[in-house]
Structure 1
Amino acid sequence: MLWGYDGWFWASVVLGALSCLVCVVQALRGRAPDDYSQGSVLLLEGFLLAYAVGSLLLPVLGPPASGSVLEYWGYLLTALLIPAGTFVWSLVERSRWSTLILGAAGPVVVVMVYRMNFIWYYQ
C-alpha cells in the first residue's frame, strides 16, 4: 500500500528527512538554532502551506475523500502548527536542545501527511 501514495507524500518524506538530518547534525555539533536548522523547518512549513492550498483544490480536481474530511483538516491544521511551534521555540530558547526539537518536526510532519493520505484515499 505504501507505493500507492501520491507525490505530496513523497515530497514530505524527502523534505522531512532532510530537515531532520540537518537539525540533528547541527544539534550533535552542539550548535544553537541557526539559518540551516531554522531554514529547513521554514521550508517544511512552506511545503505544508502549499499542501494546504492543494487540499483546498483536491475535492474539485481529485477524487472525493473516502474518510472523514473533518479529521483530514484536523490533521492538516495540526501539521501546520508543528513546524511553526518548533520555530518559535527555537527563537525563544537558543540552545542545542531547541535545535533537536526542530529536528523532531520533520518526522512528525511525515507521519501526519501519511495519515492524511490514508484518510483521503484509503479509509
Structure 2
Amino acid sequence: MVWGYDGWFWAAVVLGVISFAVCLVQALRGRAPDDWSQGSVLVLEAFLLVYCVGSVLLPVLGPSPSGSLLEYWGYLLTALLIPAGTFVWSLVERSRWSTLILAAAGPVVIVMVYRMNFIYYYQ
C-alpha cells in the first residue's frame, strides 16, 4: 500500500521532513525563529495552497473521491491552518520554543496529507 500513494503525498513527506529537520536543528541550537525555520514552514504552506488548488481540480479532471468529500476538505482546511498558525506564533513569541512549535508543523502536515490521500483513494 505504500506505493499506492500519489506524488503529492510524497512531496508532502519530503517537504514536511525537511521543514521538521530545519526547525528542530534550530530549536536544539537554542535559536529564535529565523529565515530558515520560518521559511521552511512558509514553503510547506505554499505547497498546501497548491495542493488545495489541485484538490479543487481533481474531482473535475480525475477520479471522484471514494470517501467523504466533506471530511477530506475538513482535513485540508485544518492542514492549511497548522503552518499558518505556527508561523504567526513564531512572529508573536520570539523564543527557541517558537522554533520547536514550527518544527511540529512538518509531521502534522504529513499525517494530514496521508489521511486525505486515504480518504480520497482508499476509503
Q: What SS class does the counterpart of residue 47 from structure 2 fall into? A: helix
Superposition deviation, residue 61 in structure 1 = 1.0
TM-score normalised according to structure 1 size: 0.99
TM-score normalised according to structure 2 size: 0.99
Question: 1:113 maps to which residue?
Answer: 113
Question: 1:95 maps to which residue?
Answer: 95
Could you tell me which runs of 5 or more consecutive residues in structure 1 were left unpaired when the two chains were aligned: none
Give the Cα separation in 2 of the matches to 1:75 and 1:2: 20
Identity of aligned residues (%): 85
Structure 1 moving runs of 4+ over 2 Å: none
Superposition deviation, residue 62 in structure 1 = 1.0
Superposed CA offset, 1:24-57 (max 9, x none)? 0000000000000000000000000000000000
- CA RMSD, Structure 1 to Structure 2 (Å): 0.3
Task: Give the partner amino acid of 1:114.
Answer: Y
Superposed CA offset, 1:47-102 (max 9, x none)? 00000000000001111100000000000000000000000000000000000000
Question: 1:54 maps to which residue?
Answer: 54
Alignment size in residue pairs: 123
Could you tell me which runs of 5 or more consecutive residues in structure 2 were left unpaired when the two chains were aligned: none
Question: 2:37 maps to which residue?
Answer: 37
Superposition deviation, residue 2 in structure 1 = 1.5
Superposition deviation, residue 3 in structure 1 = 1.1
